[in-house]
Amino acid sequence: MLSRNAQGLYWISRYLERAQHGCRLLADQLQTLEDRPVEEIDQTWRRLYASLDREPVGGSLESNLDDENFMLADSYTLADDLTFESSNRDSILSCIATARENARQVRNVISKDMWYCLNVAYLKLSKVGIADIWDDRPGDFYLHAEDTIRTFSGIVDSTVYRDDGWHFIQLGRFVERVQLLAALIEAQITVFPLNEAHIESEWLSLLQVCEARSTFSRRYSLEYQPVNVINFLVSDLRLSRSIRYALARIVVALERVSEKRPAQEARRLAGHMAAYIDFDWPRHDLNDTDATRTVLQELRDTSRKVHENIETTYFEYEIEDTPGA
């Protein structure tokens, strides 16, 4: 497969994973506006921004907690920033626009339905602004946007030929997922430190964002203990939005992709992370917030290195030796 095409596919799925994550975060966040105290709304915004490594526009999180109207107006600005702001490369609209731009680059190797789905989604989204969605159940907008991305994934699953292109799509999705999850959990324990008394709803909402709430309730209990939640989201191999699951998919994709040119370093790093979680993850000893955060940061750093190695092995490699004619 042409390197640029592989790169395009990889980035389409990375950006859509990011957009979907954004949709889930905001759908959850806007629900909190309905019935939660202002302090909690404030904290969840902090968690959200911290998890995206982003500073809110104009430092607007320095809010006046006595003034509820201020906070709601603020939410409007913040949601706009994360949804439609074109200067924010990670806003939902930007992510979908970039995914579409990449799809245009590789349109001759993706199925017609993939392109169609993404193009129509973009054309619709680009006509909407925050004012259009705010008054009438804004959460619905995000659920709908997420549905579109899910539809796209379904089309990918059912139309893509299982060659290298498929594996690069998987790599993009799951490398992005590891990064997003590690960053989200890290932000969670920064805003809600593990050694302090926990507010149950905050951990519930974390599970919600990761599509893990009902499964967690069945497997554990209705006691949303932070340690259990973190263990679940990091190490459960059967949960599709867990770090361990995403790593497993990365390992498989790296094994199958381009057998003639293995990305050795990426394979080593991904396998190492998976083994670390299986055998060395301090699952019963997570109450030290700083230590846990360090581990999560290491996971993020390592997954970034995986990304870099994929890039230099397949997309932008140097030519050293004489190629066979």
Partner 1 sequence: MRGKRARFVTPVFTINYNSLTEKNLPGVNPVKSASLFSGYKVNPAFYDEMFSATGVPREHCKALWEHLGEMSSADIAALQERTEQSFLHEGITFSVYGDESAQERIIPIDLLPRVLDAGEWQLIEHGLHQRLRALNLFLADIYAQEPAQVLGDGIVPADLVYGCPQYRVQMRGLQVPLGIHVFLCGTDLVRTHDGFMVLEDNLRVPSGVSYMLANRRALKTSMRNLFRRHRVCGIEQYGKLLRKTLAEFAPAGVADPCIVLLTPGIYNSAYYEHMFLAREMGVELVQGKDLLVHNGFVYMRTTEGLRRVDVIYRRIDDDYIDPLAFRQDSRLGTPGLFYAYRMGNVAIANAPGTGVADDKSLYAYVPDIIRYYLNEEPLLANVETHLCREPEGLEYTLDNLEQLIVKVVGGSGGYGMLVGPQASANERAAYAAEIRKNPANYVSQPTLDLSCAPCLTHEGAAPRHVDLRPFVLCGQEPRLVPGAFCRVALRPGSLVVNSSQGGGGKDLWVLPP
Q: Whose Cβ is closer to partner 1: residue 3's or residue 294's? A: 3
Residues 77-91, buried b or exposed e (16+ Cβ, 10 A)? ebbbbbbbbeebebb
CB of 52 to partner 1, least distance (A): 28
In the block, residue with structure tokens 């009438």: 136
Segment near partner 1 (CB under 8 A); pick from 85-93, 153-161, 171-179, 311-319: 311-319
Instruction: Determine which residue in the list 37, 39, 72, 104 makes contact with partner 1, applying CB under 8 A.
Output: 104
What's the token pair of residue 314?
């397949």
Instruction: Determine which residue in the list 70, 76, 115, 220 makes contact with partner 1, applying CB under 8 A.
Output: 115
1 binds partner 1 (CB under 8 A): yes
Binding residues among 146-185 for partner 1 as defined by CB under 8 A: 164, 168
CA distance 38 to 32: 9
15 binds partner 1 (CB under 8 A): no
Helices (DSSP H) in 38-91: which residue ranges? 38-51, 68-83
Q: Whose Cβ is closer to partner 1: residue 218's or residue 260's? A: 260
319 binds partner 1 (CB under 8 A): yes
CB of 169 to partner 1, least distance (A): 13
What's the token pair of residue 236?
């459960």
Instruction: Determine which residue in the list 69, 87, 108, 158 makes contact with partner 1, applying CB under 8 A.
Output: 108
Instruction: Determine which residue in the list 54, 107, 267, 304 makes contact with partner 1, applying CB under 8 A.
Output: 107
CB of 131 to partner 1, least distance (A): 22
C-alpha separations of 129 from 33, 140, 210, 270 in Å: 19, 14, 26, 40
Q: Whose Cβ is closer to partner 1: residue 196's or residue 318's? A: 318
257 binds partner 1 (CB under 8 A): yes
Segment near partner 1 (CB under 8 A); pick from 13-21, 118-126, 244-252, 300-308: 118-126
Instruction: Determine which residue in the list 31, 119, 240, 289 makes contact with partner 1, applying CB under 8 A.
Output: 119
116 binds partner 1 (CB under 8 A): yes
CB of 105 to partner 1, least distance (A): 6
CA distance 211 to 24: 9
- Give 35-38 contacts, CB < 8 A, sequence gap 24+: 36/201, 38/65, 38/68, 38/71
C-alpha separations of 46 from 119, 201, 229, 231 in Å: 33, 15, 19, 22
Q: Whose Cβ is closer to partner 1: residue 2's or residue 143's? A: 2
DSSP state of 91: S
In the block, residue with structure tokens 């579109």: 148
Cβ atoms within 10 Å, residue 185: 22
Amino acid (one-letter) located at 131? A
320 binds partner 1 (CB under 8 A): no
Instruction: Determine which residue in the list 89, 219, 238, 261 makes contact with partner 1, applying CB under 8 A.
Output: 261
CB of 158 to partner 1, least distance (A): 19
- Give 238-241 contacts, CB < 8 A, sequence gap 24+: 239/210, 239/212, 239/215, 240/211, 241/177, 241/181, 241/210, 241/211, 241/212
CB of 115 to partner 1, least distance (A): 7
127 binds partner 1 (CB under 8 A): no
248 Rama sector, left if φ>0, alpha if ψ -120 to 50, beta otherwise: alpha
Residues lying near partner 1 in the complex (CB under 8 A) are found at 1-6, 101, 104-105, 107-108, 112, 115-116, 119-120, 123, 164, 168, 257-258, 260-261, 314, 317, 319, 322-323, 325
